[in-house]
Amino acid sequence: MTNQPVSVIFTGKLGDKDIFYRSLSELRGLDCVSQIVFSTWEAEAKESFDFLSKMGSQFDLVVTAAPEPQGWSGNMLSQMISLALGLRQVPEGNRVLKTRPDVFIEPAALTYVISKDGMLNLPDNFAPTSGIFDQKIWVWGVEATVPFYIHDLFFLATKRDMAKLINMDIRYDVLYQMSKEKIHIRRFLHPFINEFPIFERFLNIENVLGATDQFPNEYRYLVLEQLLEDDRYVRILALYYQIVRHYFSNDWGDGEVFQWRDQPEQVEFDAEMTVSEMLLGNTQLKAILPARDIYFQKITDGDYKSCAIGRRFEKAQEYLADLDDIRDACLEGDFDAFMTFAIDAGRNALDQLKIQHVKNET
């Protein structure tokens, strides 16, 4: 609903006070923002007591703090607890923007999103999954090759849906040993993991794709090119695209969205671009982040310029459309065989890089 009041929760350490002050000033100028909360740690609140007291008086900022827990990889436990603590302050029925003190979100972008209707419009075979979220989740930065690799710098949801994005399940650490760069997969995957078991299986090989700082881009795209030749991987991506299409939005309008010290680059998908060019034509990028919702809409609708990879996606969408229950997607295949194929793709990529390195040295 577009008339829901919005609570803004800043989580984590204070960082840049100037950016935080600017955010508070701009947010208080928006009629739709009814509440601003800063959820942090006791030591941080004590250290910045005078500044936070001033912000509380000037902007009606609510500050809540707790002892900082022992960290998991990527500070995920701290992030989850901080959001849970802040969410306790939010009235029922509000939408919630989760962000950080070192991020400035442009008021026009936030106003644009808040004005949008987030109601779900699911295909018939998605009906069994209708309880996962009440409304769409607004995010920024949805990776196109690794399911649920979604940027978690800031995102907006109803309070009830936001609570579902607080996940302290240790299976991701114990069973899958997820790389810290992609640890936020666990946040956005978790509401779907029991309904779509294929994505939990995929966690066993997600590191093969190498979308981390530990792998060179050359490795990542050598692996990706091999995987895109396999219909099983394309079907998994096609299913992921449908979930993104129906449960998330990456549309923050046409202008600048936010300012941050390490802002990733997004890729525009236009009418003249093939899927092959989109996924394999940006090898300078560690992550393929399509701008807005256009890419995911066009792939699920089959509205794009033809190419070999694009035709595989067409067949994958036909396969998904024929399912009575979308939760059955990709479960009929031999996933162990696919895991072997993916691991071999990683080994092949490493071998090619070693050969190239030797050639460069001679």
**Residue 304 and residue 272: Cα distance in Å, rounded?**
8
**pLDDT tier at 8, thresholds 50, 70, 90:** very high
Under 8 Å between Cβ of 42 and 69: no
pLDDT tens digits for range 43-85: 899 999 999 999 999 999 999 998 877 655 456 777 888 899 9
Residue 72 pLDDT: 52
For the chain, the average pLDDT equals 91
Residue 182 pLDDT: 65
Write out the H or E segment, with its range, that includes residue 359.
helix 335-361
pLDDT tens digits for range 151-210: 989 999 999 999 999 988 878 777 876 666 567 888 999 999 999 999 999 998 888 887
Question: Under the phi-then-psi rule, with left for phi > 0, alpha for psi from -120 to 50, and beta for the rest, what region is 192?
Answer: alpha
Mean pLDDT of 236-244: 98
Residue 171 pLDDT: 80
Pairing of strands 258-259, 104-105: antiparallel
Residue 263 pLDDT: 87
Tokens representing residue 67 in the block: 């002892």
pLDDT tens digits for range 25-52: 999 999 999 999 999 989 899 999 999 9
Please provide residue 277's backbone torsions phi and psi, each rounded to the nearest 5 degrees: -65, -35
Indicate the burial class of 350 (C-beta count within 10 angstroms; 0-12, 13-18, 19 or more).
middle
**Residue 52 and residue 25: Cα distance in Å, rounded?**
14
Under 8 Å between Cβ of 87 and 166: yes
Tell me the residue length of the chain: 362
**pLDDT tier at 15, thresholds 50, 70, 90:** confident
- β-sheet bridge partners, residue 41: 66
Counting residues of the chain whose pLDDT is more than 70, the rounded percentage is: 95
pLDDT at 213 over 80: no
CA 90 to chain centroid = 23
The contacts of residue 345 (CB under 8 Å, 6+ apart) are 208, 223, 226, 227
pLDDT at 343 over 60: yes
What single letter denotes the amino acid at residue 355? I
Please tell me which residue, 174 or 9, carries the higher pLDDT value. 9
pLDDT tens digits for range 263-315: 899 999 998 999 999 999 999 998 999 999 999 999 999 999 999 999 999 99
| Residue ranges covered by each domain of the chain | 103-361
Residue 54 pLDDT: 97
